[in-house]
Amino acid sequence: MYDMPFAPFIGINRHGQSFQLGCAFLRDEKTPSFVWLLQTFLEAMKEKAPLNIITDQDGAMRSAIEHVFPLANHRNCRWHIMNKAIGTVGPLLKEDKELEDEFKDCINYSVMPEEFEAKWQSMIQKYGLQDNKHFGHLYSIRQSFVPTYYMHCFFPFLQSTQRSEGFNAVLKLYVSPNLSILDFVKQYQKIQDKCLVAQDGQDFRTNDKTRNTWSKNPIEKHAPTVYMKNIFYRFSKEFEKIKEYFVQRIGDYQFRLVPNDKFVDGYGIRSYDVTTIEEEESYYCECSKFDRDGIICCHIIKVMSRFGVKKLPDRYIMERWKQQEMTVGTNANANLQADVGTSSMPLQNQKTIRFNNLASTLTKFAREGSNSEDVYEIVTNTLE
C-alpha cells in the first residue's frame, strides 16, 4: 500500500524452529537505509550482533552489513542463487546427466575450497565450458554461497532449504500487500503468537521423555536424555545413516568412512576421513557437520560405535540444543499493561493486549499444571 520494502529478521530457537526477531519497512533499498535498519536492530538486541547472517544478493545490504556487523560471517542464500541458475545453466544440465551430477557434487559436497577449485576446473575443462558466461558468473560469486567456504560457520540445518522462504510463505497467509500499517501490525502479532505457541508446544513435548529410537545402540539411547525433542529426531535421522558406511583404518588416529552404496543423502558419493584421539574423547570429521549444525555426523557416530562408546561426550552436546529445566518463562507480551497508557488506544487494540496477557499467564499455569496429577486437579478445580 505504501510501496515500501519489507525486511524481516528470522532466527532459530532452541528447537531448531524459525521465529521472528523483528521486522521493518524501508523507504528504499540503498545502503544508508540498510545501515539505519541494522543499527536499529543492534540497539533492539542490546548491542549483541549476530555472528552469522544469510541474505539475498543485494549489494547495498552487503555494504551495510560490512559496516555495522564487521565480524559477522555473511553469506548469500544458496536457494535463491541456484533457483536463478536453473534458468541459465539448467538447460545444459538437463541435456547431460553426467554434467549435472558433477555440478551438484562440486557445489554441494566439496569439503575444502581447494577441493572445490579442483573439481570446478576439471568440470569446466571436461565439458568445454571455458567461455560459458553463466558458469563463469557462478564461479565469480562462489565465496558468497558455496558451502565449502562456510563449513566451520554455524548455519544450523540450512544446507538444503532456506528458512526465509518458509517464513515468507507463512507471512503471505496472514497479510496482503494492500493492508494498512495498523492492520499489518495486528496480523504480524498473530504470526508472533503462532511462533510462541509452536515453541511452547515443543517445550511441552520435550518434557514428555518418550522417544522413538531407530536402534538399541547406547549412544542413540543416551541422546534423548540430553537433546530437545526436535533436535533428538534430527540426531536420530543422522544416526540412521551409519548403516550407509563401512570403516577403514588408514592411520593410528584416522579412519575413512566409505559409502556402501553410491549416494548418501546429505553427503553424496564421497568418502570422509575422521580423526580421533580415543583417550581424550576427541573426534573430528572433515564434513564439519558439528560446526555447521551443532550435532555430530554419522561418520563420527560410526567410529564411536566401533570404540564401544556408550554416550555422547559432553563437548559434543551443544548448549543451544541441550535440554533445560522448563521453568515458567515470560511471554513477549508479558510487560504490556492493559490498563496503563492504553486509554488512547482503540478498544480492539486494548482487547488484544488483555487477551495476550491472559494467554501468557494461562500458558504458565498449563505448564505447571501438567507436571503431576495432584497439581493438575488443583489448577482444573481453581479454573472451574
Q: What is the full DSSP assignment across 181-207?
A: HHHHHHHHHHHHHHHHHHHHHHHHHHH
Cell of residue 174, nine digits: 496472514
Give the separation between CA 335 and CA 66, rounded to whole angstroms. Answer: 34
Q: What pLDDT is attached to residue 241?
A: 95
Nearest to 353 by CA among 186, 171, 111, 103: 186
CA 46 vs. chain centroid, Å, equals 23
Domains of the chain and any CATH numbers: 6-77+162-198 (3.30.420), 95-150 (no CATH), 218-318 (no CATH), 333-383 (no CATH)
Phi, psi of 22 (to 5 degrees): 155, 180
Distance CA 256, CA 29 (A): 49
Say if residue 10 is exposed, middle or buried (CB neighbours under 10 Å; 0-12, 13-18, 19+): middle
Give the ranges where 241-346 is alpha helix by DSSP (H): 289-293, 298-307
Q: What is the mean pLDDT of each run of 10 residues along the chain (384 residues)?
A: 85 85 91 96 93 90 95 89 87 92 93 95 95 95 93 80 61 77 82 72 60 77 90 92 95 94 90 92 94 95 94 93 60 38 48 63 75 84 84
For residue 10, the model assigns a pLDDT of 87
Q: What is the pLDDT of residue 328?
A: 40
Angle between helices 31-44 and 59-68 (to 10 degrees): 40
pLDDT of residue 163: 57
State the pLDDT at residue 167.
67
How far is 39 from 289, CA to CA, in rounded Å? 32
Residue 122 Cα distances to 128, 299, 309, angstroms: 10, 28, 41
Q: What pLDDT sits at residue 165?
A: 60
